[in-house]
Structure 1
Amino acid sequence: MNNEFTRVLSLKSEKALNFFLKTNQYKNIEQPVYFSFDSNLNYVKEKIGDKTYKDCLKEGAQPEQLNRLNYELLLNKDGHYATRPVMMANPYLYYFLSRELCREEN
């Protein structure tokens, strides 16, 4: 078993971005293996590409002023009727944040 870890800060920008665009980095809740967000995140990456954040917004729209921008999931808490809400980041906003963090200058 290899216990070596690679630090994200030591990765080149493109490799770091690809690291963040994996299901295990996007979500921090335990879900079945078949819940993969890789294809969703890759779709967002292809759709947006190098467009700026402002180019992707509709005229006059500001995400901080919108309700229900992120996804709220209800997870079963005790196997019966108790649930707890969990928020998942909007994949488009997550991509913009990841891309910004992984820029060469940063």
Structure 2
Amino acid sequence: MFVSPAYAQAAGGGAAGLTSFVPIILIFAIMYFLMIRPQQKKMKEHKAMISALRRGDQIVTQGGIIGKVTKVKEDNEIEVEIAQGIKVRVVQSTVATVLNKTEVSEG
């Protein structure tokens, strides 16, 4: 009288199990190209910008502070002058953008 649901599931075969994973694989591939890869590229550009910081550059920190780099220290810090005679120490990774780059003086 009642047909067990197990009989209907067993008739599908092995190939049906593999095709059910294809959409999941496609979703992961799309997420990689739309989210993960651009984020990695952005992080790489930010790291290059931070490593190129030098004295005289005008920067904006992630906190919104605008200032001029007065000293680049070895321990991942920079010294930033935010007003005449007022200098603060800032972690290099918190630099959001570089507004004005100083020219490299040769000689």
Answer with 1 or 2: which has the greater Rg: 2
Fold shared, TM-score > 0.5 on shorter chain: no
Higher relative contact order (CA 8 A, sep 6+): 1
Q: What TM-score do you get using the length of structure 1 for normalisation?
A: 0.22
Q: What TM-score do you get using the length of structure 2 for normalisation?
A: 0.22
